[in-house]
Structure 1
Amino acid sequence: MSHALLPSAAALADRTPPERNRVVDLLRAAAILVVVLGHWLMAAVYVDRDGGLHRGDLLDLAGWTHPLTWVLQVMPVFFLVGGYANALSWRSARRRAQPYGGWLRSRLRRLVLPVLPLMVFWAVLAPSAHALGADPDLLRIASRASLVPTWFLAAYVVVVALAPLTLAVWERAGWWAVGGGLALAGLVDYVSVSRDLLAVGFLNYVLVWSTVHMLGYAWLDGRLASAGRRLALVALGLGVLWLLTVHGPYAVSMVGVRTDEIDNAYPTRVTQGFLGLLQAGVVLTLEPLLQRLVARRRVWVATVLVNARIMSIYLWHLTMLGALVAGSLALDGLGLHRLPDTGGWWATRPLYFAVLALLTAGAVAVVGRFETPAADPRPAPAPWRPVLAVLGVCGGLGALAALGITRDGVVLWWLPLVPLAACLAGGVVRLPGSLDRRGAEQ
């Protein structure tokens, strides 16, 4: 990260309004660090004696890690804190009579602009590497592994776009909305699994994560203020997860394992919704402790620092893993010869994490400024424009996460440019001169 960022984070931390719920920021920052370390750990990349590259996939090699994913799969925490923040934001917009189009464009500028440098990077790297003789299959594997984080961003952007609707449902129906969301998600799973219709299961990207998002509304509205309700979430989430996984058809691992008959993550299954209940109950039960922790200045400055570059950290950490692997292969597999889940392999994980952290920090120092876009004085656009951006961005990111950047030996160099084109068409990216003014008037 840039040298100027730490003083800026400290100054921003000192200006924090007393009414701000710092636990929301702490949970967001802690969750991203868990995700990053988890991805680096689970990949378990190694090089054999003949110089062949392998992805060990720790979840495949070590079955004892599967229950740990109930703690390490922290995507529900992101949707919990996102619900809290997005409800605050939309209610503020309503009070100021800000139109939906302007509100959504503002949210997209914070969420989507940081992904554009990554798209340009891969649009340039893939055809260049292919022209220099890189194997298209290797490019496909590398790009899919590096761009896996974009599935979460795509799902989150859709949930944010629907936040005004789901907040209205919550305000009208309360806990019935949460229960109904989980029931509908269970029905989607039943149809998807029993009829072997994988595509139907993708509806749960919206149903499950919108339901977990509503837990953030409940937190904000004081509907989870009592310790009893928080512990009830823990009991309900843990109990149903136990029934669905240990005694039911779902896998124990909340992260996909190739041997699982029902992958809990691809597509999202109702189990992730109950994991959200469990994790929300746990972190909210710990809220008084977390409040005391984040009240310490050093902890709060670190929290502000991570949140200031949270999207860049998330988007680039696996691309930097790819850079580390490429560098190792150029040096005959230096540092990657130990077999995963062995004593020597575990002993070298701290150094491995440190090198990846330095590489990621370097990338963030270059691209992090996209997380602090300039103020946007344009009038609010017609709602269809940011909605168009949502559709284009999510479609492009979803295709990249699923397919990679090559198909049948052909480099799809244009695919990473789809989100950029969607941002231009949807007015998320500000254009200079007359084009910007004309877009604002529409």
Structure 2
Amino acid sequence: MSRDRTVDALRAYAIGGVVLGHWLVTGLVLTDDGGLRQASPLTAIPGLAPVTWVLQTLGLFFFTAGFGSARSLAGYRGRPGGWLVRRLRGLLLPTVALLGVGAAVLLAATVAGTPDDTLAVALRLAISPLWFLLPLVFLIAITGPLRAAVRRWGLGRCVVPAVAVVAAADLAVRLLPAGSHLPPVTVVAAWSVPYLLGVAHADGRLAGRRAAGTLAAGGAAALAALLALGYPVSAVGVPGAGVSNLNPPSLLAVALAVAQVGLGLLARPSLERLLSRPVPGRAVTEVNRCAFRIYLSHQPVLVAVTALTARGGLALPGLHTGPDDAGWVLARFCWLPLLAAVLVTVVRTGQSRSPRHPAGGGVADRSAECVSSAPQVYDHRRSGPPDLQEVIAVRDSDPPSRGRADGQPR
């Protein structure tokens, strides 16, 4: 089964949106005692809110996860339950490794006398991306029934109940007392919509420009209607706001996901032409190859660079100063090349230390690190999933456990 290079491009765009979005909305301010506290430019500069529509790419992650899982399951010929175990292993093992390394680093930082504020920020930013595991693991586990349901009843009939649950949750958020928590089913329902789109796309049900155009136009129209009804403009949480579009995910987040998927599929001809060129094609391949490592590492890199440069006690603009005006945003852009260079170094170092196995062999060879720059043919009867990045559907904005918008967007 050959790779879908358009899906590869959407996955690469999604991980780029995660990294750029977090590095632009996560301000780490140097305090008087040498520690770091978290802040957001979205509070002081509300005009940046529409930019979050481009950088909040959670829907694309769940779309590509649904596509990859459905395609992998369709070609699996092993023992019952084996597909799910190996599919989830590709996510859980790197996560456990991250937690182990993170615990060791935090312990060393504590012994070295790092301020408590900095340790708290580092822990929060390192752990918060892992919230996605709950809805993602559940959706992967029911990929078979979802695929069967789409085939039997059609995509529309499968999506409507999920949208109804999200709509009910939106109403509850506005009626319940502040601080109330909604059940996790709200999160699963919201992100099941783009996941179902991915399942349907893997089954050939979204082929053609008509289907893509319908998704793009329908999502855009829903966005406009929801904004007119008073939904927050920002696609991520804003400190101090009463309601967040991601905590729990609202109808606006679902509409944005649908619109992004539609626009991505409409861009298929342009993306295919672009990826036929050596440089863009290789860049997309490299990002897909290391997507999970990038996701797990990008926030710790931001904290590490900020904390290490703060040891001299000098507050550097855009890195240690408060995100209070457009000057901070411009200064933060100037730091992006350094952050990117450190991230690339960390990701490549971790990749070079990964165990290597002969072709068709162990876990590392069947993970995201085994993707080549040309379309490949996969034998799903092998003992593992073809690509780790095909199950990635991650975004750590507004972890669902917090119920409502709190002090910091993720």
> Greater shift after overlay, 218-227 or 173-182?
218-227
- Structure 1 residues 119 and 52 mapped into 2: Cα distance closer, same or farther (>3 Å)? closer
Cα separation, 2, equivalents of 1:301 and 1:242: 37
The corresponding residue for 2:298 is 317
Is 1:116 the equivalent of 2:96?
A: yes
Asked if the contact 1:201/1:269 (under 8 Å) is kept, the reply is no
SS of equivalent residue, structure 2 residue 235: coil
Alignment partner of 2:276 out of 283, 295, 317: 295
Asked if the contact 1:148/1:401 (under 8 Å) is kept, the reply is no
Give the counterpart letter for 2:198 in structure 1. G
CA deviations on 1:25-53 (whole Å, 9 max, x unpaired) are 11111210121011011113343788664
Cα separation, 2, equivalents of 1:370 and 1:194: 50
> Greater shift after overlay, 162-171 or 304-313?
162-171
The corresponding residue for 2:141 is 161
Alignment partner of 1:190 out of 171, 178, 182: 171
Deviation (angstroms), 1:143: 0.8
Alignment partner of 2:195 out of 180, 191, 213: 213
The corresponding residue for 1:408 is none
Cα separation, 1, equivalents of 2:16 and 2:258: 21
> Greater shift after overlay, 208-217 or 363-372?
363-372
Alignment coverage as a number of residue pairs: 362
Alignment partner of 1:105 out of 82, 85, 105: 85
The corresponding residue for 2:407 is none
Equivalent positions of 1:43-442 (< 5 A) are 43-47=26-30, 53-93=36-76, 96=77, 98-174=78-154, 175-196=156-177, 198-248=180-230, 250-333=231-314, 335=316, 336=319, 339-340=322-323, 342=325, 344-368=327-351, 375=362
Structure 1, unaligned runs of 5 or more:
1-16, 377-396, 404-442
Asked if the contact 2:49/2:235 (under 8 Å) is kept, the reply is yes
Asked if the contact 2:223/2:256 (under 8 Å) is kept, the reply is yes
Deviation (angstroms), 1:162: 2.2
TM-score after normalising by structure 1: 0.74
Cα separation, 1, equivalents of 2:242 and 2:126: 25
Identical columns (%): 33
TM-score after normalising by structure 2: 0.79
Larger Rg: 1
Cα separation, 1, equivalents of 2:218 and 2:193: 15
Cα separation, 2, equivalents of 1:255 and 1:346: 17
Asked if the contact 2:37/2:121 (under 8 Å) is kept, the reply is no
Asked if the contact 1:192/1:201 (under 8 Å) is kept, the reply is no
Cα separation, 1, equivalents of 2:94 and 2:142: 21
Cα separation, 1, equivalents of 2:14 and 2:204: 23
Asked if the contact 2:35/2:115 (under 8 Å) is kept, the reply is no
Give the counterpart letter for 2:90 in structure 1. R
Asked if the contact 2:35/2:117 (under 8 Å) is kept, the reply is no
Structure 2, unaligned runs of 5 or more:
364-395, 403-410
- Structure number with the bigger relative contact order (C-alpha 8 A, sep ≥ 6) is 2
Deviation (angstroms), 1:291: 1.3
- Structure 1 residues 371 and 36 mapped into 2: Cα distance closer, same or farther (>3 Å)? farther
Cα separation, 2, equivalents of 1:146 and 1:375: 28
SS of equivalent residue, structure 2 residue 246: coil
Cα separation, 2, equivalents of 1:275 and 1:370: 37
Asked if the contact 1:188/1:201 (under 8 Å) is kept, the reply is no
